[in-house]
Amino acid sequence: MSIHAILQTVFGYQAFRGPQLDIIQHVVSGGDALVLMPTGGGKSLCYQIPAIARQQAGQGITVVISPLIALMHDQVGALHEAGVSAAFLNSTLSMQETSQTERRMLQGEITLLYAAPERVTTPRFLEQLDILQSRGLLSLFAIDEAHCVSQWGHDFRPEYRALTVLHERFGQVPRIALTATADALTRADIIERLQLQEARLFISSFDRPNIRYTIVEKREASQQLLRFIRDEHMGDAGVVYCQSRKKVEETAELLCDNGIAALPYHAGLDSRVRQANQDQFLRSEGIVMVATIAFGMGIDKPDVRFVAHLDMPKNIEGYYQETGRAGRDGEAADAWMCYGLQDVVNQRRMIDESPAEEAFKQGLRGKLEALLGLAEATDCRRVRLLSYFGEASQPCGNCDNCLQTPDVWDATDAARKLLSTIYRVQAMSGFGFGAGHIIDILRGKVTDKVTQRGHGSLSTFGIGADLSEAQWRAVLRQLLAIDAVAVDAQAFNTLALTEASRAVLKGAVPLRLRVSQLSAAQRKSRRSAVPGAAAAKKSVHLALDMPAQARLAALKAWRFEVAREHNLPAFVIFHDATLSAIAESAPQSLDALQGISGIGSRKLQAYGEAVLAVVSDCLASADNP
């Protein structure tokens, strides 16, 4: 079969997306490739189609290296549903299942074999690969989540380092490495660590136009989150990221208390509970997963409608990867983050206190600053995000700053007052103080500490009474973002001046800050005034008329049963978009059904008649109500 025929008959898709065709052609013909594509861009087909094409050409099996044991079952299940021979080898299999799979593998009967890196690099597995190679049945290595090899990525897995053995021992076998992490540092590291210097590099646009970015100032984070979900995402599947396990638990409880179906996920939970929660998130509709960053890699649920950050991530790569889990199906989705001064201080402290070398810490600080810059930005968030990944773009019309230009004020003078207070306090007392005290001095508050330390006599005492505490915190965040203030984690988070402070003190660095954010309700009413924005927000489901909605509901009920019988997530059977298209066009023959995106020949054969029956039942009951 040609690769187009595989796309259409196996996967049921009409056309390749973006660079998929180039990548697939290159890999089918035996080239090495490094693929950088955003989450949801369609990386899987880039190795699955070559695997099928090369197997059909008698070249044997493709070994897929994936760090995600917990998801292998569903990944392989999805391929089975499409009629592709696939299997996995991991610790969840019994001895008997393992040896059976190994036997099939050695015969070259499997098209895609999934295994974790620690398995792939065992002597036993490598010997099996030797046998396969001697039989001419080792076709391709696909290294998924390739950024795991780099300590600059956010999911560093030391086991990935050992994968160089593939290149050294099986130099003739082509390799394709894939990742959604694209900053220059990580990319260079992947190339070096996996020895992909000769591989062709495929970089897609990292834009995810259907995701709307919003970053708000933290006031009462959990109330803000509740409001966000209630106003915009009741009943939707979503992910909420928190920094600590405790906060995960608290937040999940709060959401549940407020009628939102939420589950916790963090590394401290028993692995069975974790797996059960993940399964429920994947298999049921409308669950909100409250999680630490331990959750999400490889989660390919297509209909996640929002990703919320209750705490700030470490860097833009992490933020982008996590937010990228929203809206894989291409429908409108939200990336919402709430952040405050404490986030900045915490992140700085974690870096300062880590045992790493200074040069490495400096790299981490630079990455944190870039994220702060994004959070404090008053211009298009997407332009900033994309430019971080080396892509130029125009204001997007689908982020908070584009939808509503923030009012800005000139904080240049305020910044000078703040820095000079830090300086004077230090000069007077011989050591520094934290943000709260510095702001009290600026605002002229006579606290016990002010009295004890005699700071009421400073010339800057009370010179900032015209600004609120929140405004002062915003000034301070901005100064942290441009590194004009340092937080000394070793000394109770005291503030200190830096190299960059001088230019600000001189008034040579203009600072423009957003005034303050509108409430969610105001934002919403402004939103609908933006052409296109309201339409972009509307999901397919709402576009359906009443009878079609009834068909969709019936189809979903049918899908739920099938998915349960097969012990797979519902989207593996059919995506929502596919069901919506069926509901809308109400096909009455297999021919009519066949043209719908997402229905390959295997699924048509397996489910076609059942789907037609659901549709015709609905049509009949609509005629005879």
Kindly list the residues in this chain that would bind ligand ADP in the complex (CB under 6 A). 13, 16-17, 20, 37, 39-45, 300, 302, 328
- Under 8 Å between Cβ of 180 and 146: no
Closer Cβ to ligand ADP, 20 or 111, answer by number: 20
What angle is formed at CA 288 by the lines to CA 248 and CA 550, rounded to 5 degrees?
A: 170
Query: Which of ligand ADP, Zn ion, none does 83 bind, CB closer than 5 to 8 A by kind?
Result: none
Nearer to Zn ion, 209 or 302 (CB): 209
Q: How much of the chain is helix, strand and coil, in % rounded to 5?
A: 50, 10, 35
Residue 17, classed as helix, strand or coil, is: coil
Residues 375-414 that bind Zn ion (CB under 5 A): 380, 382, 396, 399, 402
Distance in Å, CB of 556 to ligand ADP, minimum: 17
263 binds, among Zn ion, ligand ADP, none (CB under 5 to 8 A by kind): none
Query: What amino acid is encoded at 4 in this protein?
Result: H
DSSP track, 37-93: --TTS-HHHHHHHHHHHHHHTT--EEEEE-S-HHHHHHHHHHHHHTT--EEEESTTS
Binding partner selected for residue 40 from ligand ADP, Zn ion, none, CB under the kind-specific 5 to 8 Å limit: ligand ADP
Helix (H, G, I), strand (E, B) or coil at 521: helix
396 contact, one of ligand ADP, Zn ion, none, CB 5-8 Å limit per kind: Zn ion
Identity of the residue numbered 165? V
Are 372 and 481 spatial neighbours (Cβ–Cβ below 8 Å)? yes
The item of ligand ADP, Zn ion, none sharing an interface with residue 382, based on CB under 5 to 8 Å by kind, is: Zn ion
- Per residue, what are the HEC states of 214-272? EEEECCCHHHHHHHHHHHHCCCCCEEEECCCHHHHHHHHHHHHHCCCCEEEECCCCCHH
Torsion sign (Cα): 374, 376, 382, 387 = negative
Least distance between ligand ADP and beta carbon 181 (Å): 12
In the chain, the largest separation of any two C-alpha atoms, in whole Å, equals 88
Q: How far is the CB of 375 from Zn ion (least distance, A)?
A: 14
Pick between residue 107 and residue 405 the one whose CB is nearest to Zn ion.
405
> Minimum CB separation from ligand ADP for residue 44, in Å?
3
Instruction: Output 380 or 568, the one with its CB closest to Zn ion.
Output: 380
Q: Which is nearer to ligand ADP, 36 or 484 (CB)?
A: 36
Least separation in angstroms between residue 398's CB and Zn ion is: 6
Shortest Å distance, C-beta 324 to ligand ADP: 7
**Count of residues that interact with Zn ion, criterion CB under 5 A:** 5
Q: How far is the CB of 335 from Zn ion (least distance, A)?
A: 12
Q: In this structure, what token pair is assigned to residue 121?
A: 């690099």
* CB closer to ligand ADP out of 37 and 79: 37
How far is residue 620's CA from residue 305's CA, in Å, rounded to a whole number?
33
**From the list Zn ion, ligand ADP, none, partner contacted by residue 380 (C-beta under 5 to 8 A by kind):** Zn ion
Residue 418 touches which of ligand ADP, Zn ion, none (CB < 5 to 8 A by kind)?
Answer: none
Tell me how many helices (H) and strands (E) the chain has.
30, 17
Residue 395 has which token pair? 């204001």
Of the candidates 77, 80, 76, which has an alpha carbon nearest to the alpha carbon of residue 88? Answer: 76
Closer to ligand ADP at the Cβ: 26 or 416?
26
Least separation in angstroms between CB 333 and ligand ADP: 13
Residue among 308 and 385 whose Cβ is closer to Zn ion:
385
Summarize as ranges the residues that interact with Zn ion (CB under 5 A).
380, 382, 396, 399, 402
